[in-house]
Structure 1
């Protein structure tokens, strides 16, 4: 029974590490991905050796598979909590909502505003680049001021210059002076 519980525990550690390693690779955080990969492989080999040692019980194989599935759920939850990286949120509204723009800027979001032509009237589009861990906060502010806004969010692969990058550099200089 101890072996079965150990197999489950190993999978619940291995799969979230696998998930995080994959995300770090996609986000080009290769050194951390390599370290996680080493730990991940040690756990993987040890877990498989438990499953395939001795009588190779059907229960051990089922627990191994169940642990993998549950580990995917845990890995996803951990990644959502970490919210690594940035998103771009595009907000389309019917009116130029200055109160919304001012509130977003006052909350530290960089907002670029565009005006365009829709089929029936003019449209106003805001582009907002922010850290992923602020996405819920951003969406709540938008919802409060523009509940009918059309919103698209996506992750940029890379970016250069602009408001957010300048602020990050300024904060890094400020923090390094302590």
Structure 2
């Protein structure tokens, strides 16, 4: 079968081309999601590069849908690509994990074992005594790379599963103490549990 006859075939029109439109939309929406995150984090150059590819792919995909309005399957493929692209973009952003977060932990337990353990694992920690609605508490602050966020939350939960914590995105930092990259955290049963 010649290429031109294959492209003109019903199979190509009803199966292959909608898949191509879906894949293009999947790609451009994923790029858009990551580009928006880059813009919010001040990564201007790469946001611009991604924007160029995003809009190029989008223009090709939308032109094919607009030129074939008599084929609703193309519009459905376009919409499915959009929905799936949002999910994929968010998934990729989680895996890339760019930036830093502020973790704030409030606990009514004796927190020194947690502070000591976090320091030992390379996290910068600031702790202060405070007064909560039900008595004295300890507030612990740590600025962590997003890649280390799950590790520090696991450590906090191991120390005190009932501790209150909040996480905020940090736009910029100056200096700081961070654990070395690719550290294997094994903390189970290493924390002294006081004041249960």
Shorter-chain TM-score range: 0.7 to 0.9
Q: 1:120 offset after TM fit, Å?
A: 3.1
Specify the alignment match of 1:176 in structure 2.
none
> Structure 1: which 5+ runs fail to align?
169-178
Q: 1:36 offset after TM fit, Å?
A: 0.2
Equivalent-residue separation in structure 2 for 1:128 and 1:54 (angstroms): 54
> Structure 2: which 5+ runs fail to align?
1-14, 181-196
Tell me: CA distance 1:120–1:9, structure 2 relative to 1, closer, same or farther (3 Å). closer
2:68/2:74 contact within 8 Å kept: no
2:26/2:84 contact within 8 Å kept: yes
Specify the alignment match of 1:10 in structure 2.
24
RMSD over aligned Cα atoms: 1.6
Equivalent-residue separation in structure 2 for 1:97 and 1:123 (angstroms): 9
Q: Would you say how many aligned residue pairs link Structure 1 and Structure 2? A: 166
TM-score (structure 2 length as normaliser): 0.80
1:94/1:123 contact within 8 Å kept: yes
Equivalent-residue separation in structure 2 for 1:158 and 1:81 (angstroms): 20
Residue 47 (structure 2) pairs with residue 57 (structure 1): no
Equivalent-residue separation in structure 1 for 2:59 and 2:70 (angstroms): 15
TM-score (structure 1 length as normaliser): 0.88
Q: 1:58 offset after TM fit, Å?
A: 0.8
Secondary structure in structure 2 of the residue aligned to 1:154 = strand
Q: 1:160 offset after TM fit, Å?
A: 2.7
Specify which of 136, 144, 155 is matched with residue 169 of structure 2: 155
